[in-house]
């Protein structure tokens, strides 16, 4: 890619790094079908096809089933895969809800001690208090949420 102007697009399933990250999410949270139909596109040209894309470094383009990266970047790929994982494991969430969750999920796991302890509060109570929660508490909450019954997840307020 000369100067970041060249563009390439391929099926996500052809990316070993994407498969590895997805496997990690499935082990950390809950098994979810790998999105083989999604494409991974690298290059600046794709960002002009997305509203507001000129200012973004990476984006999950749900309408066209693709992840866009300006350049190969493992952290940004992890972030967009976290959004995609939340979409498939739970549902498409409002950006204000999904962004903080994806930010925590994109980090490599470092909260094993917190995740191994059973929280004192219920999932709905923890969900309501998530604004003041630490990254490890949110990671634990995401793990518990994605393992909980769909009805419980769907009953949570998305505000």
* pLDDT tens per residue across span 99-136: 999 999 988 777 765 445 677 789 999 999 999 998 88
Which DSSP letter does residue 127 get?
H
Q: What H or E segment, with its residue span, contains residue 60? A: strand 58-61
> For position 112, what pLDDT does the model report?
64
* Global pTM value: 0.88
**Residue 121, Cβ neighbours under 10 Å: how many?**
12
Low-confidence residues of the chain: pLDDT under 70:
1-7, 112-117
Asked whether the beta carbons of 119 and 144 are under 8 A apart, the reply is yes
Partnered with residue 40 across adjacent β-strands are 10, 67
């Amino acid at each position: 890619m000369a100067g970041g102007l060249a563009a390439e697009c391929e099926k996500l399933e052809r990316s070993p790094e994407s498969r590895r990250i997805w496997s990690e999410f499935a082990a950390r949270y809950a098994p979810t079908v790998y999105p083989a139909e999604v494409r991974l596109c690298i290059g600046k040209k794709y960002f002009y096809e997305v509203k507001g894309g000129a200012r973004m470094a990476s984006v999950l383009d749900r309408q066209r089933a693709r992840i866009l990266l300006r350049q190969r970047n493992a952290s940004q790929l992890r972030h967009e895969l976290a959004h995609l994982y939340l979409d498939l494991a739970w549902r498409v969430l409002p950006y204000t809800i999904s962004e903080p969750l994806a930010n925590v999920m994109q980090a490599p796991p470092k909260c094993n001690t917190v995740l191994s302890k059973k929280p004192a509060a219920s999932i709905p109570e923890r969900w309501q208090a998530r604004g003041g929660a630490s990254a490890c508490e949110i990671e634990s909450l995401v793990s518990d949420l994605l393992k909980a019954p769909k009805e419980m997840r769907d009953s949570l307020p998305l505000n």
